[in-house]
Chain A
Amino acid sequence: MDPSSFNSAELQNLINQEKQRAMVNEMVGKLTSVCWDKCITSTPGNKFSSSEATCLNNCAHRYLDMSIMIMKRLQSMPSQGQRFMG
């Protein structure tokens, strides 16, 4: 395979899409792992209890809230904000 035969803009575009998909996959995987540990404290049953399901759902939403909060807090720090966001 000769890489130069590829339309590089097109390839770049496809690679970016895959990169994005990989990030999404990684985030779902990581958050599932963390929330599983927090919410599923007993031996897994045939069905999630409603409190387990609610906990998983809340866990994901609170993680998003926290991410936003951390982002905002970081941006409000004059020196560090620039360094990390740059």
Chain B
Amino acid sequence: MDSFSSAASNGSSSSQFSTEDFMDKLKAQLAEAYAEEFLETVRGKCFEKCITKPGTSLSGSEASCISRCMDRYIEATGIISRALFSSSASR
């Protein structure tokens, strides 16, 4: 993230429509796409785990399962990410 932003701000003085602006837009769109994909995954996983027998309305226990499930999925993403990219992680 940091190396990216510094690279973008260093070299944009040459052009009127700056590369920086363009890349900012591109980055925003990518971030949106990532978020959408993540949400879709979480919906799928948590529906599977928490709504085992769909009733006439969302029950309280289903609702609390969904919030726990979201929290755990985010946590799991962190665990996987750390396992992949920090060499000091215990194997």
Contacts of A31 in B (CB 8 A): 80, 84
Binding site for A on B (CB under 8 A): 3-4, 7-8, 11, 14-17, 19, 22-23, 26-27, 30, 34, 37-38, 41, 45-46, 49-50, 65, 68-69, 71-73, 75-77, 79-81, 83-85, 89-91
A57 with B79, Cβ < 8 A, contacts A14-B4, A14-B19, A43-B49 known: yes
Contacts of A86 in B (CB 8 A): none
Offer 10 A-B interface pairs, CB within 8 angstroms, sorted by A.
A5-B17, A18-B26, A29-B41, A33-B41, A33-B45, A35-B80, A44-B49, A53-B79, A59-B83, A64-B84
Number of A positions contacting B (CB below 8 A): 37
In whole angstroms, how far apart are the Cα atoms of A22 and B9 in the complex? Answer: 21
Chain A positions 55 through 69: 1 when the CB is less than 8 Å from some CB of chain B, otherwise 0? 011111100100000
B68 in contact with A60 (CB, 8 Å): no
In whole angstroms, how far apart are the Cα atoms of A35 and B76 in the complex? Answer: 9
Main secondary structure of the interface of A (DSSP, over half): helix
Contacts of B26 in A (CB 8 A): 18
- CB within 8 A of B11: which of A7, A22, A27? A7
